[in-house]
């Protein structure tokens, strides 16, 4: 599922996924737009019932952790 999520994220303009950091259940990615409002993004994701927090707000680096119950259609 992590590889599927990494592939789908990499299709979005301005999103950079590091394939060497894609693990069995983790995807590391970053936003290239320096004007990106990470707080607004986090609120939107919470509204979608997805916890998401930048692990480095200065560089807009994120990590998604996929839990075992997640299916392909949910990605």
Closest Cα partner for 32 from 51, 52, 9, 50? Answer: 9
- So where are the chain's domains? 2-69
Give the torsion through C-alpha atoms of 20, 51, 4, 61, to 10 deg.
-30
Give the pLDDT score at 58. 72
Q: Which residue has the tokens 């990470």?
A: 38
Strands (E), 1-44: 15-17, 26-31
Q: Class of the 2-69 domain?
A: alpha beta
pLDDT, tens only, 14-72: 999 987 778 788 899 988 887 888 888 889 989 998 888 777 767 778 888 888 888 89
pTM: 0.79
Report helix, strand or coil for 20: helix
Question: What number of residues does the chain have?
Answer: 75
């Amino acid at each position: 599922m992590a590889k599927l999520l990494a592939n789908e994220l990499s299709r979005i303009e301005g999103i950079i996924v590091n394939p060497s950091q894609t693990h069995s259940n983790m995807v590391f990615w970053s936003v290239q737009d320096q004007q990106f409002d990470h707080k607004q993004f986090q609120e939107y994701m919470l509204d979608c019932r997805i916890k998401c927090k930048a692990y480095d707000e200065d560089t807009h680096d994120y990590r998604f952790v996929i839990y075992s119950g997640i299916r392909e259609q949910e990605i």
